[in-house]
Amino acid sequence: MSPRIGDQDLDVVIVGAGFAGLYMLHRLRGLGFSATVIESADDVGGTWYWNRYPGARCDIESVDYSYSFDPELQTEWHWSERYATQPEILRYLGHVADKHDLRRDIRFSTRVESATWDGDARRWSVRTDRGDQLRCRFYVMASGCLSLPKTPDIAGVDRFRGETYYTNRWPHAGVAFSGKRVAVIGTGSSGIQSIPIIARQAAALTVFQRTPNFSRPAFNGPVCAAKQTAFDADPAAYREAARWSRAGVPAEPTMVRTFQVSEQERLAKYEEAYASGDLLALSATFADIGADPRANETVCEFMRGKIRSIVHDPATAEALSPKDHFYGTKRPCLDTDYFETFNLPSVRLVDLRKDPIRTITETGIDTASRSLAFDAIVFATGFDAMTGALVAVDIRGRDGLALARKWVDGARTYLGLMTSGFPNFFTITGPGSPSVLSNMVVSIEQHVDWVSACLVHMRAARLAEVEPTPLAEAGWVQHVNDCGDVTLFPRANSWYMGANVPGKPRVFLPYVGGVDRYRKTCDEVVSQGYLGFAFDGPGGVRCNDGVVNRLQVDVATVLEVVAGRGLPPIETMSVADARALSVAMATDRPPGPDVGDVADGVLRGAAGPLAYRRYRPASPGPHPIVVYFHGGGWVLGGLDSDDPFCRHLCLQADAIVVSVDYRHAPEARFPAAADDGFAALRWIAANADALGGDASRLAVCGWSAGGNVATVACQMARDAGGPAIAGQVLITPVTDCDFTRESYVANADGYVLTTALMRWFWDQYADPADRRHPKASPLRARDLSGLPPALVVTCEFDPLRDEGAAYAEALAASGVEAQHLPCRGQIHTSVPAVDVILSAAGARDEVGATLRRFLGASTPAAASETRATLAAGRR
């Protein structure tokens, strides 16, 4: 046992001597900071010290699941297996501790009980269970994401008189199960790794399963030759690729979606991923598996098929097949002979969903239907993940605020690194960082490097305190939630959501935006003068307050893809080339949902025939009608450009949608589009019966320039005394020719629709003298009263944002029932991007619901995916 530390004044106190604490200590020492690690175990290892259960091993390949900071270590250490066992990983960490002489600054068998910020002294005061009182400038919790065992919430847990074991606190001497009747409760990674080995030793094994889990064979063996060769060829480059990958393991993300390929090709990909024994491979087969329920279900069914093919007894196979969560939304497992184990005559499965545990007794376990006797019970019941170990210490920040109190409704951090109100307190892989959704070692190294650089910066600038601002923190919490909301994660009752611990707030804890994006964000924060961090000290008071990553994550991804194509700006092209490009950009996008039927036709426009496309719902008619006008700056677009969105509207509004191909500029300049819009409206109203619709329930909808055409048509219809329009839905509409509004300046460039492009569109469409005419700039109409009720959708990063908002305001001021829906983090093209910009699904739902309301339809029969997600989830 280490001697007592006594009273010390240090630069940094670090809690935990696992992967994170060891590297943190090494790094700080190298930078000349005094630091001590406090560790409750009697040796290094962290999670690999405690989790010694049979079969424990990593499930990220060891070549990847290892430090990169020491080039010598990388070449001198050779893993004996692809997935190293717990003893080998523990030896590795021991070797690192020895090599860098770390143990001399680690106090073992010592537990931190409290840490209190002393604002006057600008010091943390840290107290241990051995009476030590340490003072330090910085306090770092490197205590691991899965380190505080969850108390099993099972009646009678203390009654059992036989042997009791916890996978996460396994005896060092090991356990002999031979000849014994053993129960294992829990089928997460720990259960799934240990069950096959315990089954081989025990006389009889009973597995108590509450939730079946997705697991597949690890195909463990020697280190994968291809991986080792790639690593050996250039270890530094290999590690760099890992740092800039999605999950912390070098891999190329795919852009291909599940239903873009044939079923045969899809299954071949799944088989290949299955055979790879790579934990991340199956989720990475297609781009939409983490977000699209239908896509994910194909993986789930593939995996269930595998279980059925392995487990002989169909009822047992059925019970072992997960059906209550999407693949990957609870952490999938890698196993060795897990499902095969259930073919052994000595192994039985108790499905707790059908036969729940009533109580643990002195001699065994009573379920609802029977009493079972055991010699030993193994609890593989998991952890109070991500926040448990942090709030288990009584950490008090400014004004005595307790961390547990601050996080009572869920963890709030900035970047998963710090939390406001707690100066100079860092969490390594804290909630709100990629952590458990990544290769932990890569994420640990990134955090340690970031914290170290921050401390060096403060030393150089003579700054004593650092703390995130409430604004930055709120923005990050929002971003973390936004990222989670476009995935299927919030739907599962997982420990990612805190759902495994009774009473824990249901909050999605990790950051799912990717290791690469996260690293870039952390770097950007620094390059913007530590955006969102407040510093104070002899060197002065500094704060560049603000919010990082204000774009929705899927929008940012699309913008990166577009930027990666290196296309010339549209406004520098000929009209023909611009049209060709806009057609090319639309190829390969998701086709939108199926509708009852789609038919093309011709209607009478203002100056001749115009093509239209009619979408009819599968439900029985007659249906109300939505007259739709596509976007494209009066120059681009057509029936095909907005086809997926029209399908979506048809389904959501349960209405016939008639998409009108009005004349385009420059061939037909102002007021051709406006006149065509009104003529089409009249023709559709007059021919509603023939279209299968109900002329008395007519609404208009348009996006961008189409929003302009739609509302101009409403103004013309009002002035002409008909047709009657029940409502108008204007999505990021052009309403004015004024380029001086704030959004034109702030969003001038970088968000697809640029100010320069808008100028080009206007130049194509209308002479300067005509632009102020209400048929071009409907906001300038002298009278907006008497117009149909309106929904105006605007997007935060759109040059047209402010004119849309101004139009909604002007309508309302004129007595029109006008609703304004501002979309945070979205760009001009987001709302019609069905199945591409998933974060705009809520806005699309609102559009559908509003159209229904305008058209007098009942509440949506089929609640959309998003609504279901949001209802099931946090908000």
Q: Residue numbers of the site for ligand N01 (CB under 6 A)?
A: 58-59, 146, 152-154, 167, 185-191, 193, 210-211, 331, 352, 380-383, 436, 495, 500
Q: Residue 324 or residue 783: which is nearer to ligand N01 going by CB? A: 324
Alpha-carbon span 861 to 853, nearest angstrom: 13
- DSSP classification of residue 747: T
Alpha-carbon span 27 to 730, nearest angstrom: 56
Q: Residue 500 or residue 641: which is nearer to ligand N01 going by CB? A: 500
- Min dist. Cβ of residue 53 to ligand N01 (A): 8
Among 513, 352, 360, 493, which Cα is nearest to 432's? 513
Residue nearest to ligand N01 (CB): 188
- Min dist. Cβ of residue 383 to ligand N01 (A): 6
Alpha-carbon span 521 to 628, nearest angstrom: 39
Please say whether the dihedral angle defined by the alpha carbons of residues 827, 833, 836 and 838, taken in this order, is positive or negative: positive
Measure Cα distances from 408 to 439, 505, 511 in Å.
Answer: 28, 7, 19
- Min dist. Cβ of residue 81 to ligand N01 (A): 13
- Min dist. Cβ of residue 874 to ligand N01 (A): 19
Q: Residue 5 or residue 360: which is nearer to ligand N01 going by CB? A: 360
* CA 270 to centroid of chain Cα atoms: 23
Q: Residue 382 or residue 799: which is nearer to ligand N01 going by CB? A: 382
Q: Residue 211 or residue 869: which is nearer to ligand N01 going by CB? A: 211
- Min dist. Cβ of residue 38 to ligand N01 (A): 23
- Min dist. Cβ of residue 189 to ligand N01 (A): 3
Among 616, 464, 423, 453, which Cα is nearest to 519's? 453
Q: Residue 148 or residue 766: which is nearer to ligand N01 going by CB? A: 148
Q: Residue 106 or residue 198: which is nearer to ligand N01 going by CB? A: 198
Which amino acid type is present at position 823?
C
CA angle 46, 50, 53 (to 5 degrees): 140
Alpha-carbon span 861 to 263, nearest angstrom: 30
Element (H, E) at 699: strand 693-703
Give the tokens for residue 58. Answer: 């990593």
Counted residue by residue, the chain has a size of 875
Q: Residue 167 or residue 659: which is nearer to ligand N01 going by CB? A: 167
Q: Residue 168 or residue 839: which is nearer to ligand N01 going by CB? A: 168
Q: Residue 188 or residue 733: which is nearer to ligand N01 going by CB? A: 188
- Min dist. Cβ of residue 178 to ligand N01 (A): 24
Which amino acid type is present at position 795?
C
- Min dist. Cβ of residue 406 to ligand N01 (A): 25
- Min dist. Cβ of residue 334 to ligand N01 (A): 6
Contacts 24+ apart (CB under 8 A), 284-288: 284/246, 284/251, 284/253, 284/254, 285/254, 285/258, 286/254, 286/256, 286/257, 286/258, 286/261, 287/253, 287/254, 287/255, 287/256, 287/257, 288/257, 288/258, 288/835
- Min dist. Cβ of residue 496 to ligand N01 (A): 9
> Mind spelling out the 3-state secondary structure of 471-525?
HHHHHHHHHHHHHHHCCCHHHCCCHHHCCCCCCCCCCCCCCCCCHHHHHHHHHHH
Q: Residue 249 or residue 684: which is nearer to ligand N01 going by CB? A: 249
- Min dist. Cβ of residue 164 to ligand N01 (A): 14
Measure Cα distances from 606 to 575, 663, 681, 725 in Å.
Answer: 23, 9, 11, 19
